[in-house]
Amino acid sequence: MEALLKRMERMEDVLERLEPKIIEIHAFISASIPHLATKAEITAVQLEISHCENRISDRINNEANVLSEKINHRPTTAVILTIFGLMAAIAAVPWKELYKLFSFE
Protein backbone atom coordinates (compact mmCIF):
# COMPACT_ATOMS: atom_id res chain seq x y z
CA MET A 1 0.00 0.00 0.00
CA GLU A 2 2.87 2.34 0.78
CA ALA A 3 4.36 1.75 -2.66
CA LEU A 4 1.09 2.71 -4.20
CA LEU A 5 0.94 5.91 -2.16
CA LYS A 6 4.51 6.82 -3.18
CA ARG A 7 3.63 6.29 -6.84
CA MET A 8 0.56 8.46 -6.41
CA GLU A 9 2.68 11.24 -4.87
CA ARG A 10 5.14 11.05 -7.80
CA MET A 11 2.25 11.24 -10.23
CA GLU A 12 0.91 14.31 -8.44
CA ASP A 13 4.36 15.92 -8.61
CA VAL A 14 4.57 15.22 -12.33
CA LEU A 15 1.06 16.59 -12.91
CA GLU A 16 1.93 19.74 -10.92
CA ARG A 17 4.95 20.28 -13.17
CA LEU A 18 2.93 19.55 -16.33
CA GLU A 19 0.01 21.81 -15.49
CA PRO A 20 1.77 25.12 -16.30
CA LYS A 21 3.09 23.63 -19.55
CA ILE A 22 -0.39 22.44 -20.51
CA ILE A 23 -1.80 25.91 -19.76
CA GLU A 24 1.00 27.48 -21.82
CA ILE A 25 0.33 25.14 -24.78
CA HIS A 26 -3.40 25.80 -24.54
CA ALA A 27 -2.80 29.58 -24.54
CA PHE A 28 -0.50 29.27 -27.58
CA ILE A 29 -3.01 27.18 -29.50
CA SER A 30 -5.86 29.53 -28.56
CA ALA A 31 -3.86 32.54 -29.73
CA SER A 32 -2.48 31.16 -33.00
CA ILE A 33 -5.10 28.74 -34.34
CA PRO A 34 -8.28 30.88 -34.53
CA HIS A 35 -7.26 32.23 -37.94
CA LEU A 36 -7.39 28.73 -39.38
CA ALA A 37 -10.73 27.85 -40.93
CA THR A 38 -12.65 24.73 -40.11
CA LYS A 39 -13.61 22.25 -42.79
CA ALA A 40 -17.22 23.47 -42.67
CA GLU A 41 -16.11 27.09 -43.15
CA ILE A 42 -13.95 26.10 -46.12
CA THR A 43 -16.87 24.20 -47.65
CA ALA A 44 -19.15 27.21 -47.13
CA VAL A 45 -16.65 29.53 -48.82
CA GLN A 46 -16.18 27.09 -51.70
CA LEU A 47 -19.95 26.92 -52.14
CA GLU A 48 -20.23 30.71 -52.12
CA ILE A 49 -17.42 30.99 -54.70
CA SER A 50 -19.18 28.40 -56.86
CA HIS A 51 -22.43 30.41 -56.71
CA CYS A 52 -20.55 33.59 -57.63
CA GLU A 53 -18.87 31.83 -60.56
CA ASN A 54 -22.27 30.61 -61.77
CA ARG A 55 -23.80 34.09 -61.53
CA ILE A 56 -20.84 35.63 -63.38
CA SER A 57 -21.01 32.94 -66.04
CA ASP A 58 -24.75 33.53 -66.46
CA ARG A 59 -24.24 37.29 -66.81
CA ILE A 60 -21.49 36.80 -69.38
CA ASN A 61 -23.69 34.42 -71.37
CA ASN A 62 -26.62 36.86 -71.22
CA GLU A 63 -24.44 39.76 -72.34
CA ALA A 64 -23.00 37.62 -75.15
CA ASN A 65 -26.52 36.71 -76.29
CA VAL A 66 -27.60 40.37 -76.29
CA LEU A 67 -24.49 41.35 -78.24
CA SER A 68 -25.07 38.52 -80.70
CA GLU A 69 -28.66 39.71 -81.25
CA LYS A 70 -27.43 43.26 -81.86
CA ILE A 71 -24.86 42.00 -84.34
CA ASN A 72 -27.50 39.92 -86.14
CA HIS A 73 -29.79 42.97 -86.48
CA ARG A 74 -27.18 45.37 -87.85
CA PRO A 75 -27.36 46.21 -91.54
CA THR A 76 -25.29 44.09 -93.89
CA THR A 77 -22.64 45.48 -96.23
CA ALA A 78 -25.00 45.11 -99.19
CA VAL A 79 -27.67 47.20 -97.45
CA ILE A 80 -25.18 49.91 -96.54
CA LEU A 81 -23.80 50.04 -100.11
CA THR A 82 -27.34 50.21 -101.51
CA ILE A 83 -28.17 53.13 -99.21
CA PHE A 84 -24.99 54.97 -100.24
CA GLY A 85 -25.79 54.27 -103.91
CA LEU A 86 -29.30 55.67 -103.52
CA MET A 87 -27.94 58.72 -101.72
CA ALA A 88 -25.41 59.28 -104.52
CA ALA A 89 -28.13 58.86 -107.14
CA ILE A 90 -30.39 61.34 -105.34
CA ALA A 91 -27.50 63.80 -105.02
CA ALA A 92 -26.75 63.46 -108.77
CA VAL A 93 -30.28 64.37 -109.86
CA PRO A 94 -30.43 67.85 -111.42
CA TRP A 95 -33.08 69.15 -109.04
CA LYS A 96 -33.14 72.71 -110.40
CA GLU A 97 -33.87 71.52 -113.92
CA LEU A 98 -36.54 69.09 -112.70
CA TYR A 99 -38.14 71.86 -110.69
CA LYS A 100 -38.24 74.10 -113.74
CA LEU A 101 -39.57 71.27 -115.84
CA PHE A 102 -42.42 70.44 -113.51
CA SER A 103 -43.24 73.92 -112.25
CA PHE A 104 -46.45 75.45 -113.44
CA GLU A 105 -45.39 79.05 -113.42
> For residue range 28-56, what is the model confidence (pLDDT) as tens digits?
887 777 667 788 888 899 999 999 999 99
Whole-number average pLDDT of the chain: 86
Q: In angstroms, what CA-CA distances link 96 with 22, 30, 37, 89, 100? A: 108, 96, 86, 15, 6
- Distance between first and last Cα of the chain: 146
Which residues contact residue 83 at a Cβ distance below 8 angstroms, ignoring those fewer than 6 apart?
75
User: pLDDT tens, 59-76?
Assistant: 999 999 999 998 888 888
pLDDT of residue 34: 65
